[in-house]
Protein backbone atom coordinates (compact mmCIF):
# COMPACT_ATOMS: atom_id res chain seq x y z
CA UNK A 1 0.00 0.00 0.00
CA UNK A 2 1.29 3.44 -0.84
CA UNK A 3 0.30 6.47 1.14
CA UNK A 4 -0.57 9.79 -0.38
CA UNK A 5 1.69 12.78 0.17
CA UNK A 6 0.44 16.30 0.88
CA UNK A 7 1.83 19.81 0.57
CA UNK A 8 0.92 23.47 0.41
CA UNK A 9 1.32 26.55 -1.77
CA UNK A 10 3.51 29.64 -1.99
CA UNK A 11 3.83 30.86 1.59
CA UNK A 12 4.43 29.62 5.10
CA UNK A 13 2.40 31.59 7.61
CA UNK A 14 5.08 31.54 10.30
CA UNK A 15 8.09 32.36 8.12
CA UNK A 16 8.99 35.53 6.18
CA UNK A 17 7.25 35.83 2.83
CA UNK A 18 9.25 34.67 -0.20
CA UNK A 19 7.20 37.02 -2.38
CA UNK A 20 8.94 40.32 -1.98
CA UNK A 21 8.49 42.62 -4.95
CA UNK A 22 8.53 46.27 -5.91
CA UNK A 23 6.71 48.68 -8.17
CA UNK A 24 7.56 48.68 -11.84
CA UNK A 25 8.95 52.18 -11.63
CA UNK A 26 11.49 50.94 -9.08
CA UNK A 27 12.32 47.78 -11.00
CA UNK A 28 15.95 48.47 -11.82
CA UNK A 29 17.93 45.27 -12.36
CA UNK A 30 19.88 45.82 -9.13
CA UNK A 31 16.66 46.13 -7.17
CA UNK A 32 15.16 43.02 -8.77
CA UNK A 33 18.32 41.07 -8.07
CA UNK A 34 18.29 42.08 -4.43
CA UNK A 35 14.62 41.15 -3.99
CA UNK A 36 14.99 37.87 -5.85
CA UNK A 37 18.03 36.95 -3.74
CA UNK A 38 16.03 37.55 -0.61
CA UNK A 39 13.09 35.56 -1.98
CA UNK A 40 15.33 32.61 -2.81
CA UNK A 41 16.82 32.71 0.68
CA UNK A 42 13.38 32.77 2.23
CA UNK A 43 12.30 29.96 -0.07
CA UNK A 44 15.24 27.91 1.15
CA UNK A 45 14.13 28.56 4.72
CA UNK A 46 10.64 27.31 3.90
CA UNK A 47 11.95 24.19 2.19
CA UNK A 48 14.19 23.47 5.17
CA UNK A 49 11.20 23.91 7.44
CA UNK A 50 9.23 21.56 5.21
CA UNK A 51 12.04 19.00 5.36
CA UNK A 52 12.07 19.22 9.15
CA UNK A 53 8.31 18.67 9.24
CA UNK A 54 8.22 15.87 6.67
CA UNK A 55 6.33 17.91 4.09
CA UNK A 56 7.28 16.77 0.62
CA UNK A 57 5.38 19.05 -1.72
CA UNK A 58 5.59 22.78 -2.14
CA UNK A 59 4.36 25.19 -4.77
CA UNK A 60 6.87 27.92 -5.51
CA UNK A 61 5.41 31.37 -5.99
CA UNK A 62 5.40 32.86 -9.48
CA UNK A 63 6.71 36.08 -7.92
CA UNK A 64 10.00 34.55 -6.80
CA UNK A 65 11.86 36.53 -9.46
CA UNK A 66 9.91 39.81 -9.71
CA UNK A 67 9.03 40.95 -13.24
CA UNK A 68 10.91 37.95 -14.63
CA UNK A 69 8.92 37.91 -17.86
CA UNK A 70 8.27 41.62 -18.17
CA UNK A 71 9.46 42.93 -21.51
CA UNK A 72 10.85 46.16 -20.12
CA UNK A 73 12.88 44.57 -17.32
CA UNK A 74 15.99 42.53 -17.90
CA UNK A 75 18.03 40.60 -15.38
CA UNK A 76 20.17 37.53 -16.03
CA UNK A 77 19.00 36.03 -12.74
CA UNK A 78 20.26 32.55 -13.57
CA UNK A 79 23.81 33.90 -13.56
CA UNK A 80 23.45 36.58 -10.91
CA UNK A 81 21.79 34.24 -8.41
CA UNK A 82 23.66 31.06 -9.24
CA UNK A 83 24.83 30.39 -5.65
CA UNK A 84 21.34 30.80 -4.19
CA UNK A 85 19.87 28.60 -6.92
CA UNK A 86 22.56 25.99 -6.36
CA UNK A 87 21.73 25.82 -2.67
CA UNK A 88 18.08 25.27 -3.46
CA UNK A 89 18.87 22.65 -6.09
CA UNK A 90 20.95 20.71 -3.57
CA UNK A 91 18.24 20.94 -0.94
CA UNK A 92 15.59 19.69 -3.33
CA UNK A 93 17.75 16.89 -4.66
CA UNK A 94 18.96 15.68 -1.28
CA UNK A 95 15.51 15.65 0.29
CA UNK A 96 13.67 14.36 -2.76
CA UNK A 97 10.98 16.94 -2.29
CA UNK A 98 8.74 17.85 -5.18
CA UNK A 99 8.13 21.42 -6.28
CA UNK A 100 5.66 22.95 -8.69
CA UNK A 101 4.52 26.32 -9.93
CA UNK A 102 1.15 27.76 -10.90
CA UNK A 103 1.19 30.92 -13.05
CA UNK A 104 -1.20 33.68 -12.07
CA UNK A 105 -4.48 34.69 -13.60
CA UNK A 106 -2.80 36.84 -16.20
CA UNK A 107 -1.33 33.83 -17.94
CA UNK A 108 -4.01 32.99 -20.50
CA UNK A 109 -2.69 30.80 -23.27
CA UNK A 110 -5.98 30.69 -25.13
CA UNK A 111 -6.72 34.41 -25.23
CA UNK A 112 -7.92 35.77 -28.59
CA UNK A 113 -5.53 38.66 -28.03
CA UNK A 114 -2.15 37.89 -29.52
CA UNK A 115 -0.37 40.15 -27.06
CA UNK A 116 -1.86 38.26 -24.12
CA UNK A 117 -0.73 34.97 -25.65
CA UNK A 118 2.79 36.28 -26.20
CA UNK A 119 3.00 37.51 -22.62
CA UNK A 120 1.71 34.15 -21.42
CA UNK A 121 4.29 32.22 -23.41
CA UNK A 122 7.07 34.36 -21.94
CA UNK A 123 5.69 33.92 -18.45
CA UNK A 124 5.45 30.16 -18.89
CA UNK A 125 9.00 30.04 -20.19
CA UNK A 126 10.18 31.84 -17.05
CA UNK A 127 8.42 29.21 -14.95
CA UNK A 128 10.15 26.44 -16.90
CA UNK A 129 13.51 28.19 -16.62
CA UNK A 130 13.20 28.49 -12.86
CA UNK A 131 12.12 24.88 -12.43
CA UNK A 132 14.94 23.77 -14.72
CA UNK A 133 17.48 25.51 -12.49
CA UNK A 134 16.00 23.96 -9.36
CA UNK A 135 15.23 20.38 -10.33
CA UNK A 136 16.34 18.21 -13.15
CA UNK A 137 13.56 15.71 -13.61
CA UNK A 138 10.20 16.32 -15.21
CA UNK A 139 8.07 15.50 -12.17
CA UNK A 140 8.28 19.16 -11.09
CA UNK A 141 5.35 20.66 -12.94
CA UNK A 142 3.76 23.91 -14.09
CA UNK A 143 0.02 23.84 -13.40
CA UNK A 144 -2.18 25.89 -15.71
CA UNK A 145 -5.88 26.44 -16.24
CA UNK A 146 -7.23 26.35 -19.78
CA UNK A 147 -8.26 30.01 -19.65
CA UNK A 148 -11.24 31.94 -20.92
CA UNK A 149 -14.32 30.77 -22.80
CA UNK A 150 -15.11 33.91 -24.83
CA UNK A 151 -18.59 32.66 -25.61
CA UNK A 152 -17.39 29.53 -27.43
CA UNK A 153 -15.79 26.87 -25.30
CA UNK A 154 -14.85 24.41 -28.05
CA UNK A 155 -13.20 27.12 -30.15
CA UNK A 156 -11.36 28.35 -27.07
CA UNK A 157 -10.24 24.83 -26.19
CA UNK A 158 -8.98 24.44 -29.75
CA UNK A 159 -7.06 27.70 -29.46
CA UNK A 160 -5.45 26.43 -26.26
CA UNK A 161 -4.21 23.36 -28.10
CA UNK A 162 -2.93 25.39 -31.04
CA UNK A 163 -1.07 27.81 -28.80
CA UNK A 164 0.37 24.93 -26.78
CA UNK A 165 2.31 23.99 -29.92
CA UNK A 166 3.99 27.40 -29.84
CA UNK A 167 5.53 26.75 -26.42
CA UNK A 168 9.23 25.97 -25.97
CA UNK A 169 9.96 22.30 -25.33
CA UNK A 170 11.00 22.99 -21.76
CA UNK A 171 7.50 24.29 -21.08
CA UNK A 172 5.71 21.51 -22.95
CA UNK A 173 7.44 18.84 -20.88
CA UNK A 174 6.42 20.47 -17.61
CA UNK A 175 2.95 21.78 -18.36
CA UNK A 176 -0.08 20.13 -16.78
CA UNK A 177 -3.69 21.32 -16.94
CA UNK A 178 -6.27 21.73 -14.20
CA UNK A 179 -10.06 22.04 -14.10
CA UNK A 180 -11.33 25.39 -12.79
CA UNK A 181 -14.37 26.44 -10.82
CA UNK A 182 -16.40 28.02 -13.58
CA UNK A 183 -15.15 27.44 -17.12
CA UNK A 184 -13.49 24.11 -17.86
CA UNK A 185 -14.71 20.98 -16.08
CA UNK A 186 -12.61 17.95 -15.29
CA UNK A 187 -14.09 16.29 -18.39
CA UNK A 188 -13.16 19.29 -20.58
CA UNK A 189 -9.63 19.30 -19.20
CA UNK A 190 -9.25 15.55 -19.55
CA UNK A 191 -10.09 15.71 -23.25
CA UNK A 192 -7.56 18.49 -23.82
CA UNK A 193 -4.89 16.67 -21.81
CA UNK A 194 -5.38 13.50 -23.84
CA UNK A 195 -5.22 15.39 -27.13
CA UNK A 196 -1.97 17.08 -26.11
CA UNK A 197 -0.47 14.05 -24.40
CA UNK A 198 0.07 15.93 -21.13
CA UNK A 199 -1.11 15.19 -17.58
CA UNK A 200 -4.32 16.47 -16.04
CA UNK A 201 -4.62 17.64 -12.45
CA UNK A 202 -7.96 16.99 -10.82
CA UNK A 203 -9.08 19.70 -8.40
CA UNK A 204 -11.86 18.17 -6.36
CA UNK A 205 -13.00 21.51 -4.94
CA UNK A 206 -13.30 23.13 -8.34
CA UNK A 207 -15.13 20.05 -9.46
CA UNK A 208 -17.64 20.42 -6.64
CA UNK A 209 -18.21 24.04 -7.74
CA UNK A 210 -18.47 23.12 -11.41
CA UNK A 211 -19.23 19.46 -12.02
CA UNK A 212 -19.77 18.15 -15.50
CA UNK A 213 -23.18 17.00 -16.52
CA UNK A 214 -22.96 13.23 -16.47
CA UNK A 215 -22.58 12.15 -12.88
CA UNK A 216 -19.40 10.20 -12.48
CA UNK A 217 -18.12 8.94 -9.14
CA UNK A 218 -15.08 10.75 -7.80
CA UNK A 219 -13.11 7.51 -7.82
CA UNK A 220 -13.69 7.19 -11.54
CA UNK A 221 -12.73 10.79 -12.30
CA UNK A 222 -9.51 10.43 -10.32
CA UNK A 223 -8.75 7.17 -12.06
CA UNK A 224 -9.14 8.79 -15.46
CA UNK A 225 -6.96 11.76 -14.45
CA UNK A 226 -4.26 9.39 -13.20
CA UNK A 227 -4.19 7.65 -16.56
CA UNK A 228 -2.93 10.85 -18.20
CA UNK A 229 0.30 10.65 -16.18
CA UNK A 230 3.38 8.88 -17.52
CA UNK A 231 6.25 7.51 -15.46
CA UNK A 232 8.52 10.51 -16.11
CA UNK A 233 5.77 12.88 -14.91
CA UNK A 234 5.99 11.55 -11.37
CA UNK A 235 3.03 10.76 -9.17
CA UNK A 236 -0.32 12.13 -10.34
CA UNK A 237 -1.33 15.32 -8.57
CA UNK A 238 -4.63 16.32 -7.04
CA UNK A 239 -5.74 19.64 -5.56
CA UNK A 240 -7.82 19.80 -2.41
CA UNK A 241 -9.70 22.66 -0.72
CA UNK A 242 -12.92 23.29 1.16
CA UNK A 243 -15.55 25.96 0.71
CA UNK A 244 -15.17 29.02 2.95
CA UNK A 245 -18.51 28.93 4.79
CA UNK A 246 -20.72 31.89 3.97
CA UNK A 247 -18.57 33.13 1.12
CA UNK A 248 -19.45 32.74 -2.55
CA UNK A 249 -19.08 29.27 -4.05
CA UNK A 250 -15.43 28.75 -4.94
CA UNK A 251 -13.89 30.75 -2.12
CA UNK A 252 -11.09 28.70 -0.58
CA UNK A 253 -11.49 28.00 3.09
CA UNK A 254 -9.44 29.38 5.92
CA UNK A 255 -8.42 25.94 7.03
CA UNK A 256 -9.02 22.31 6.18
CA UNK A 257 -12.28 20.87 7.45
CA UNK A 258 -11.10 17.58 8.89
CA UNK A 259 -14.41 15.83 8.48
CA UNK A 260 -14.46 16.63 4.77
CA UNK A 261 -10.78 15.83 4.38
CA UNK A 262 -11.16 12.44 6.02
CA UNK A 263 -13.96 11.61 3.61
CA UNK A 264 -11.65 12.58 0.73
CA UNK A 265 -8.82 10.61 2.29
CA UNK A 266 -10.89 7.47 2.32
CA UNK A 267 -11.13 7.75 -1.47
CA UNK A 268 -7.43 8.35 -2.16
CA UNK A 269 -5.63 6.70 0.74
CA UNK A 270 -4.39 3.74 -1.26
CA UNK A 271 -3.44 5.69 -4.37
CA UNK A 272 0.10 6.80 -5.26
CA UNK A 273 -0.88 10.45 -5.60
CA UNK A 274 0.37 13.82 -4.37
CA UNK A 275 -2.23 16.21 -2.97
CA UNK A 276 -1.80 19.97 -2.90
CA UNK A 277 -3.79 21.52 -0.05
CA UNK A 278 -5.09 24.97 -1.00
CA UNK A 279 -6.27 26.79 2.10
CA UNK A 280 -5.44 30.10 3.70
CA UNK A 281 -3.63 28.75 6.74
CA UNK A 282 -1.17 26.78 4.59
CA UNK A 283 1.28 24.66 6.56
CA UNK A 284 -0.96 24.80 9.61
CA UNK A 285 -3.53 22.67 7.83
CA UNK A 286 -0.86 20.20 6.77
CA UNK A 287 0.25 19.88 10.40
CA UNK A 288 -3.36 19.51 11.46
CA UNK A 289 -3.84 16.68 8.97
CA UNK A 290 -0.64 15.03 10.19
CA UNK A 291 -1.91 15.18 13.73
CA UNK A 292 -5.26 13.67 12.83
CA UNK A 293 -3.88 11.10 10.38
CA UNK A 294 -0.43 10.20 11.77
CA UNK A 295 0.25 7.66 9.03
CA UNK A 296 0.71 10.53 6.57
CA UNK A 297 3.57 12.14 8.44
CA UNK A 298 6.38 9.66 8.17
CA UNK A 299 7.07 9.18 4.52
CA UNK A 300 10.29 11.12 3.98
Using the rule CB under 7 A, is 258 a contact of DNA?
Answer: no
Number of residues that bind DNA (CB under 7 A): 52
- The rounded distance, in Å, linking the Cα atoms of 59 and 152 is 32
Per CB under 7 A, the list member of 1, 79, 232, 248 interacting with DNA is 248
Q: How far is the CB of 298 from DNA (least distance, A)?
A: 27
Angle at 178 between CA 173 and CA 179, to 5 degrees: 155
Answer for which of 5, 36, 57, 67 binds DNA (CB under 7 A) is 67
183-222 binders of DNA (CB under 7 A): 183, 206
Q: Minimum distance between the CB of residue 35 and DNA, rounded to whole angstroms?
A: 7
DSSP letter for each residue of 162-185:
HHHTTS-HHHHTTEEEE--SSS--
Residue 237 within binding range of DNA, rule CB under 7 A = no
CB 243 within 8 A of CB 204: no
CA distance between the termini of the chain: 16
Q: Which residues contact 167 (CB under 8 A, 6 or more apart)?
A: 121, 124, 125, 175
CB-CB contact of 6 with 57 (8 Å):
yes
Q: Is 285 in the site for DNA (CB under 7 A)?
A: no
Q: What CA–CA distance (Å, rounded) separates 69 from 298?
A: 38
Rounded CA gap, 91 and 217, in Å? 39
The reply on whether position 136 binds DNA by CB under 7 A is: no
Task: Lay out the site mask for DNA across 89-108 (x = CB under 7 A, - = otherwise).
Answer: -------------xxxxxxx
What's the rounded Cα separation, in Å, for the pair 276 and 4?
A: 11
Under the binding rule (CB under 7 A), the answer on residue 224 touching DNA is: no
Does 299 sit near DNA (CB under 7 A)?
A: no
Q: Identify the three-state secondary structure at position 276.
A: strand
Q: Does 147 bind DNA (CB under 7 A)?
A: yes
Site stretch for DNA (CB under 7 A), options 16-24, 85-93, 164-172, 255-263 = 16-24
Does 175 interact with DNA (rule: CB under 7 A)?
no
Residue 250 within binding range of DNA, rule CB under 7 A? yes
Span of 22-30, 162-170, 184-192, 261-269 interacting with DNA by CB under 7 A? 22-30
Do 22 and 31 touch, CB atoms closer than 8 A? yes
Residues in touch with DNA (CB under 7 A): 9-11, 17, 19-27, 35, 59, 61-63, 66-70, 102-108, 111-113, 116, 119, 123, 145, 147-150, 181-183, 206, 247-248, 250-252, 278, 280
Amino acid sequence: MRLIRIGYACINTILPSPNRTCRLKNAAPERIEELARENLGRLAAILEWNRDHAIHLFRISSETIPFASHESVYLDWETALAPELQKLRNLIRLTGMRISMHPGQFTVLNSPKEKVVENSIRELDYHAALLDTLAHDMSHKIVLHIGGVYGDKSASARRFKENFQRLPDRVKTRLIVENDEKNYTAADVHAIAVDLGIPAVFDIFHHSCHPFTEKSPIEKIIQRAMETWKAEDGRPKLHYSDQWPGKHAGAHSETVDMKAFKAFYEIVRDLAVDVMIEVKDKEQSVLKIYNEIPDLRGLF
